[in-house]
Structure 1
Amino acid sequence: MLSYRHAFHAGNPADVLKHVVVVRCLAYLNQKEKPYLVVDTHAGAGRYRLDDASAQKTGEYQQGIARLWHRQDLPEALRGYVQLVKEINSSDELTQYPGSPWLIRTLIREQDRAIFYELHSKDHALLKRHLERKPQIITRCEDGLTGVIALMPPNERRGLVLMDPSYEVKEDYQQVVSVLEKAHRRFATGTFLVWYPVVDRERISAMERAVKRTGIRNIKQFEFSTCPDFPGRGMSASGMFVVNPPWTLEQEMQQILPYLVDVMAPDQGSFRYKTLVAE
């Protein structure tokens, strides 16, 4: 939906979960010299000011990345992500937050490629401005859920696809599962990350059932809640479906998730992780 602007939500707990998973998956891909392709279907503006009116209006980052900013006891699997956030800030003060495109651009190597989709024209213009011009990086002002299917399988035969629509349009819940099924059919060995917000628990339960019905194997699910589910209250949690996850990811998330609850939502928070579909 073209009214959605991520600047109001940058750095919140949902961003932390999503970006930690992206960073850990890319770190795993980088262990081999072979090139890979990364596709981000809803890239946003690429980076965000946390001291501007949009972020200050909601203050959501205060419960998210700000809770990790000065921590000295970060789990090892979380340190790389926090260090990347520190690198985008020129001082010890937290004033900027990297979106997934900035994280991806920073972590991919010369032999790798990245394609970023952003349909909102203003955010796409910012995205182009925020990403350095590199031959292996492409931005497209198009619908990423439509475009990603045609890219599969990538020539590299290795890759990661991040699908994270705003879900302001209810049909997104069904469409993202349909696109996942079609893209996986073309690229069965790829890693697919599907982020989702928990606003209506029954809708997420239905989404889980739909993902299972695709017949795709080897799916992990990670979820982080800042408060109990409460209809009409807004987003209580967010989660990730990870298809073909790195074998190291589950163990890393077993360290990260309870830590995030302790630091960000010690009174009402919770987490869960499970094998949604076995290999």
Structure 2
Amino acid sequence: MNYRHAFHAGNHADVLKHVVLLSLCDALTAKPAPLFAMDTHAGRGLYALDSASAQRTGEAEGGIARLIAEAPRHPAITRYLAAVRACRNGHGGTAYPGSPWLLAHALREQDRIAACELMPEEAGQLKANFAADPRVATHARDGYAAMKALLPPRIGETRFARGLVLVDPPYEAQLEEFDRILAALRDALGRWPQGTYAVWYPIKRRRSLQPFFRRAATLPGKGVLVAELMVHPDDSPLRMNGSGMLLVNPPWQFDQLLGEVSPRLQHALAGTGASSRVEWLKQPA
């Protein structure tokens, strides 16, 4: 699987990922202390849904376009739709915000963001998109290596006690990618144990993910939570039937928020045979 952001911008997986991401930002910014956020596989950070890449798949029609039409009533979904509108007000009516844009939108003047992208063309566009924002440092480098280099975060005299790392790789080799993710998380938690870590993952057949879940449950974080949205029945290895977010050290009561949001997203975006779940792999201590 090669999950290139430009081909899938605004699809059902982006909707889940970005609703969760903004909700994490809001929970973390409830306290005044500065935050550090890292996006390990940032892409270019901003997309046009009328581009050739997006039009080739048309996946946004079943994602953000459908959610706008349905507009489920929940503060987290309303927050996300407002962010998409703000992006379009600034960048045109077919714009869609990638996760670096959403981090920059949600975080504050005192917060700092590191956005990493390895592919040269995407990294160049990422740098151009955020050149005017002093809070955002872009890195043309491997995201896992950046986790080793930049955590625990310190910029100048500021040490960041709190923050968020989003891990959103392309899954070119899915099983090997899970190995890299778990190794990177275990290492990062050893050096920055108080950080919140969010991992997006695709779902074809959920049972193939069970080894990943078992190993994730042994991570040294205080709690490991998953939230999934299936838009198709979980029985085909030939398509992405859904996706999930694995959260290590989620904010307090975040499971309750996701338990309210997930069924609303399922109802708005999914058809017959769809499902959603929010479940602790490791209960908070």
Mapped partners of 2:103, 2:240: distance in 1: 26
| Residues in 2 aligned to 1:109 and 1:51: alpha-carbon distance in whole angstroms | 30
3-state SS in 1 of match to 2:32? coil
Kept in 1, the 8 Å contact 2:72–2:264? The answer is: no
Task: Give the secondary structure class of the aligned counterpart of 1:192.
Answer: strand
CA deviation string 1:112-171 (max 9, x = no partner): 100000001111111112224232211011000111122222221111000010111231
Deviation at 1:230, TM superposition (A): 2.4
Matches within 5 A, 1:47-126: 47-90=46-89, 94-126=93-125
Of residues 147, 160, 167 in structure 1, which corresponds to 2:164? 160
- Offset of 1:213 from its aligned partner? 2.8
Provide the TM-score with structure 2 as the length reference.
0.92
Give the Cα–Cα distance (whole angstroms) in 2 for the partners of residues 251 and 201 of structure 1.
23
2:156 is aligned to none
* Cα distance in 2 for residues equivalent to 1:229 and 1:200: 6
SS of equivalent residue, structure 1 residue 68: helix
Structure 2: give runs of 5+ residues left out of the alignment.
Answer: 154-158
State whether residues 50 and 94 of structure 1, in contact with CA within 8 Å, keep that contact through their aligned partners in structure 2: no
Contact 2:224 2:246 in 1 (8 A): yes
Choose which of 211, 215, 220 in structure 1 pairs with 2:216: 211
Alignment root-mean-square deviation, CA: 1.8
Q: Which residue of 2 aligns with 1:276?
A: 281
Following TM superposition, by how much is the alpha carbon of 1:72 offset from its aligned partner in structure 2, in angstroms?
A: 4.6
The Cα shift of 1:69 comes to 1.4
What displacement does 1:246 show? 1.4
- Is 1:44 the counterpart of 2:48 in the alignment? no
3-state DSSP of counterpart to 2:189: helix
Look up the equivalent residue of 1:97 and give its one-letter code: Y
Instruction: Give the alignment partner of residue 272 of structure 2, picking from 252, 264, 267.
Output: 267
1:178-229 deviation per Cα after TM superposition (whole angstroms, max 9, x unaligned): 1011101111111000111012433311110111233433111100000112
Question: Normalising to structure 1: TM-score of the pair?
Answer: 0.94
Q: Percent same amino acid among aligned pairs?
A: 40
For 1:22 and 1:264, the matched residues in 2 are separated by: 18
1:29 equivalent in alignment to 2:28 = yes
C-alpha contact (below 8 Å) 1:189/1:244 kept by paired residues: yes
Equivalent-residue separation in structure 1 for 2:183 and 2:229 (angstroms): 24
